Amino acid sequence: MAALIAENFRFLSLFFKSKDVMIFNGLVALGTVCSQEVFSVVAFHCPCSPERNYLYGLAAIGVPALALFVIGVILNNHTWNFVAECRRRGAKNCTTPAVFLLCGSIMGRALVAPITWSVISLLRGEAYVCALSEFIKPESLENFPPNHGAETMARFPCVDVPVEVRSFKEEVIRRLKYESQLLGWMLIGTVSVTVFLSKCLQRCCSPLGYHQEQYWSQYRSIENQLFHRTAEVHAKILAAANVEEFFGFVALDKDDKELVKEFPVEKMQSSPQWNEITGLYLYRENKGMPLYSRLHKWAKGLMGKDSYMESKEMALLAE
């Protein structure tokens, strides 16, 4: 029984590791939904004034979405690998399709949060009702009292609606929420179809088979984890050695002492070595053997020998 439970946990662990991008996007979307709910309750207050309503409603939808998009681009490691590649090498090893694919990857991840924000805003309808209430034509409402224009219509999202038109409030809000939610569902459908077609295009254009592509994805994830874990230990040991050199001793806890004893730092990596393993990576093969990362290529001693390798640019990824 214990072995069966352990096997099931192992399977779930492998499943979630293989779906790390999907899970990350799901968590981003969930966090965005929670933020939207808090914003609607705490910060959203329609000004109930012509012109101001429109600007405020659009800002409530667009500005947070734009901010989330910029944050998504900033937090994406691919962005800074691309910038580093352009600064050091001028992206001379990347053709236009390859650069387009990388930018698409960056944009795709960065758009998860802003699209979620926009969809939730439209489905809730509050910002849309606030923005467009003043544009409802009074003559489109049956038996609507005369001498009421945009100023009156702009007050419908608020509590203090004039008494003589208060009975029309529910109809106006229902009409605008219908339009808002229709746009929200259309946006969901458009995004779903776009994602599906993008995935199909990616699979059709990839030079790798499904299993090799999955292996490459697992390799990159594991290499990245091991690299950062090892870099942290290396930095800690090097820092301890330098502090000890300065003070004559270093205050380490038991675990750190064991690390220093077990992994003595004998060398430091030069700047050219760091530069060689940093930046964009174009999938390459050397005599039919795949090279899965810049670090893999460096470890094989093949840096600077691109003329002897095959490049398959449709599999462009940043390490």
Predicted confidence pLDDT, tens digits, the chain (319 residues): 454 444 444 444 444 444 456 666 677 777 777 776 676 656 778 888 888 899 999 999 999 999 999 999 998 888 887 887 777 666 555 666 667 777 888 898 899 999 999 999 999 999 999 999 888 887 778 777 777 777 888 888 887 787 787 788 888 889 999 999 999 999 999 999 999 998 888 778 777 888 888 898 899 889 999 999 999 999 999 999 899 989 999 898 888 888 888 888 878 888 888 888 877 776 777 777 888 888 998 888 876 655 444 545 444 443 3
Question: Across 100-177, where does the E strand assignment appear?
Answer: none
Q: Which residue has the tokens 């001379």?
A: 92
pLDDT at 313: 44
Indicate the residue among 205, 233, 256 that finishes a domain: 205
Indicate the residue among 205, 234, 258 that finishes a domain: 205
Q: Are strands 289-291 and 280-281 parallel, antiparallel or unpaired?
A: unpaired
User: Does residue 233 sit in the same domain as residue 266?
Assistant: yes
Indicate the residue among 189, 205, 221 that finishes a domain: 205
Q: Under a CB-based contact definition with an 8 Å cutoff, are residues 85 and 279 in contact?
A: yes
The encoded tokens of residue 309 equal 């390798």
First to last CA, the chain: 41
User: Does residue 70 sit in the same domain as residue 144?
Assistant: yes
Q: How far apart are CA 256 and CA 77, in angstroms?
A: 29
DSSP state of 44: -
Q: Is residue 4 part of a domain?
A: no
Q: How far apart are CA 186 and CA 229, in angstroms?
A: 44
pLDDT at 23: 64
Q: How far apart are CA 59 and CA 65, in angstroms?
A: 9
Number of domains present in the structure of the chain:
2
- Residue type (1 letter), 146: P
pLDDT at 172: 87
Within 8 A by CB and 6+ apart from 100, the residues are none
pLDDT at 243: 92
User: Does residue 101 sit in the same domain as residue 56?
Assistant: yes
Q: Is residue 79 part of a domain?
A: yes
Closest CA to 150 of 142, 167, 165: 165
User: Does residue 31 sit in the same domain as residue 148?
Assistant: yes
Sign of CA dihedral 89, 95, 99, 101: negative
- Entry pTM: 0.73
Residue 242 belongs to what domain range? 210-318
User: Does residue 186 sit in the same domain as residue 69?
Assistant: yes
Sign of CA dihedral 39, 43, 49, 52: negative
Q: Is residue 193 part of a domain?
A: yes
The encoded tokens of residue 179 equal 């339009």
Q: Is residue 102 part of a domain?
A: yes
Q: How far apart are CA 67 and CA 63, in angstroms?
A: 6
Q: Is residue 309 part of a domain?
A: yes
Beta partners for residue 289, in sequence order: 286
- Residue type (1 letter), 151: E
C-alpha of 174 from chain center: 34
User: Does residue 36 sit in the same domain as residue 163?
Assistant: yes
Q: At how many degrees (to 10) do helices 52-75 and 112-124 cross?
A: 150
User: Does residue 156 sit in the same domain as residue 88?
Assistant: yes
User: Does residue 110 sit in the same domain as residue 219?
Assistant: no
The encoded tokens of residue 86 equal 């352009």
User: Does residue 142 sit in the same domain as residue 95?
Assistant: yes
Q: Under a CB-based contact definition with an 8 Å cutoff, are residues 28 and 113 in contact?
A: yes
Q: Is residue 8 part of a domain?
A: no
User: Does residue 97 sit in the same domain as residue 221?
Assistant: no
Q: Is residue 173 part of a domain?
A: yes
Q: Is residue 1 part of a domain?
A: no
User: Does residue 133 sit in the same domain as residue 170?
Assistant: yes
User: Does residue 188 sit in the same domain as residue 45?
Assistant: yes
